Amino acid sequence: MEEFYLQTYKPTVIKVDDYEQMSAEAAKIIINLVKKKPSASLGLATGSSPVGTYERLIRDHEQNGTKYATVTTYNLDEYVGISPSHHQSYAFFMKEHLFDKIDILAKNTHIPSGSSLDLEKVCEEYEAKIKGIGGVDLQVLGVGTNGHIGFNEPGISFSSKVHVAELAQETRDSNARFFNSHEEVPKQAVTMGISTILLSKKIVLLASGKAKSYALKALLKDELNEEIPINALRYHRDVTIIADKEALSLSIN
């Protein structure tokens, strides 16, 4: 952990009006990177926050021909106990919202398996893969209302590696909107740990809406509280927060 946690930095904040502008700014950063470095490695998130960004990547690919054939991707997390073909799995989400609509090669997309019988091995191998490339070039993050990043819930150690996480009640409640019933929401996920995320060369965090204002306040305004996972980003030298007015309403005027 060690070398990460000696110094803190201030993230760059790009304040935008709304979700659409947030998505446009994020897409611009990703497209520029992929054009400059066709073999870029991208760390990707699921959930509502990056959907608009992915839509713009697809549109740009169709209209301007930006290529992803040599890009590799590493997703942050996957639910435990549901197969990749389940409509709510993150493997399915990524195919539906991005991978099936650009020229990325399936073999270059990495998502930890949540349906393996040997999750310990899945975690070790995923950590080794990410370490093996020296961390992704660009990690896209959303943030939970409780300040989680990936599925690193409040109280997780900042030195955590890829691991099986218990989802917080607040996270299960919030994600129940995607499932038929609350009982169906998985209780665990395989997730990059905090130290895995901090290996990334650059981090872009997306936040839209009032529900995210508490988490952004914890990062941008409050005293450092290591119980809240988003605060780990203070230890990374290249973090850009792209957030709308509502998400920033408790931290920046």
**Residue 153 a catalytic site member:** yes
112 near ligand F6R, judged by CB under 6 A: no
Cα four-point dihedral sign 54, 57, 59, 62? negative
77 near ligand F6R, judged by CB under 6 A: yes
Q: Tell me 170's DSSP state.
A: H
**In this complex, which beta carbon is closest to ligand F6R, that of residue 35 or of residue 232?**
232
88 near ligand F6R, judged by CB under 6 A: no
**In this complex, which beta carbon is closest to ligand F6R, that of residue 180 or of residue 253?**
180
92, 86 contact by CB (below 8 A): yes
- Touching ligand F6R, residues 19-48 (CB under 6 A): 45-48
The site string for ligand F6R over 128-157 (x = CB under 6 A, - otherwise) reads: --------------xxx---xxxx------
**In this complex, which beta carbon is closest to ligand F6R, that of residue 142 or of residue 154?**
142
**Residue 146 a catalytic site member:** yes
C-alpha 140/C-alpha 221 separation (Å) is 22
CB of 221 to ligand F6R, least distance (A): 20
Q: How many CB atoms lie within 10 A of CB 200?
A: 25
> Per DSSP, what are the bridge partners of residue 165?
189
CA angle 117, 99, 85 (to 5 degrees): 35
Q: Per the residue annotation, which of 25, 60, 75, 77 is the catalytic one?
A: 77
Q: Per the residue annotation, which of 153, 163, 231, 236 is the catalytic one?
A: 153
> Per DSSP, what are the bridge partners of residue 141?
205
CB of 201 to ligand F6R, least distance (A): 19
Q: Which two tokens stand for residue 123?
A: 């975690």
Helix (H) or strand (E) holding 55: helix 51-64
User: Tokens 């870029």 map to which residue?
Assistant: 40
Q: Per the residue annotation, which of 25, 127, 146, 236 is the catalytic one?
A: 146
251 near ligand F6R, judged by CB under 6 A: no
> Contact residues for ligand F6R (CB under 6 A)?
45-49, 76-77, 142-144, 148-151
